[in-house]
Amino acid sequence: MPGKSISDPTMEIIALKLALETRTSELHAAQKQLEKDAGLAALGQLVSTVVHELRSPLGAMLTSLHLVENRVGDADPAVTKGIDRIRRSVRRCDDTITRLLDFSRHETLEPEPTRIDQWLRAMFHNQALPEGVSLTFEPGLGDRRVTVDRDRLRRAVVHLIENAIQSIADGGKPGHIAVDTRPADGHVEIRITDNGPGIPDDHRANIFEPFFSARRSGIGLGLPIARRIAKQHGGTLSLTSRPGQETSFAISLPLDAESAEGG
């Protein structure tokens, strides 16, 4: 009767050790995720408090500012300039609050089949751009559909457009934003490219980290929010950049199974 090879117990021990190491790694990953979720929950509670405490006085400031503006009119250019500066500052504070709230909350998606090209074309029709920045859209999906939460995806695209605008502003000269779409291996891509100064190599590893920003203004949440929204849809957000030439972000989303090729 043949017996076990002398090496069999050793192989079993090695296999058990490898399995234990795998399970230990999985437990560490699960623990980190729980810690992250707990941190986000705490952040969400903090942000809710901040929103409640700040939005009301900010609204009161805008109302009072409007009253002062009506009383003063254009009588004093210095006062008018000061009023405009206050209004911009209040809106900047409100935008910061909105981004914090957007990052901290977990919304349930309300997806619906969407022809991305038509949806984007309508969106860009009303897109406001600063002086010296132009935008072109090159659709490449035809009637292909993706099931998305349109409001959430719109926020992701807006964050990327705003990031492109800021990138162009950092370059200090007029610039251009090119948006195009294309099918790619069962997915669709929405690519947003600007001809700003690009992203330095030493910033790329941190570009999607919350609160990371190389700029004097901004709190570094636009890109993390856009990436989270892409992930919520089962997709990804990727970056390519050529320092001194351009930056391109691509949202990749799963194509609807029933969406026929080209129709």
Report the pLDDT value the prediction gives residue 144, as an integer from 0 to 100: 92
Closest to 222 in 3D by CA, of 122, 88, 51, 96: 96
Q: Report which of residues 81 and 49 the model is more confident about.
A: 81
112-254 is classed in which CATH architecture? 2-Layer Sandwich (3.30)
Most confident range, picked from 7-16, 81-90, 158-167, 251-260: 158-167
Residue 260 clears pLDDT 50, i.e. is over it: no
Report the pLDDT value the prediction gives residue 137, as an integer from 0 to 100: 96
Q: Which residues pair with 123 in a beta bridge?
A: none
Handedness of CA 108, 113, 117, 120 (dihedral sign): negative
Q: What pLDDT, in 10s, does the model give residues 34-55?
A: 445 555 566 666 666 666 677 7
Handedness of CA 112, 118, 123, 124 (dihedral sign): positive
**pTM, entire model:** 0.66
Q: Which two tokens stand for residue 2?
A: 């043949």
Instruction: Tell me the average pLDDT of the chain.
Output: 79
What's the Cα-to-Cα distance from 30 to each of 25, 26, 106, rounded to whole Å? 9, 6, 19
Q: What pLDDT, in 10s, does the model give residues 133-149?
A: 999 999 999 999 999 99
Q: Domain locations in the chain?
A: 1-106, 112-254
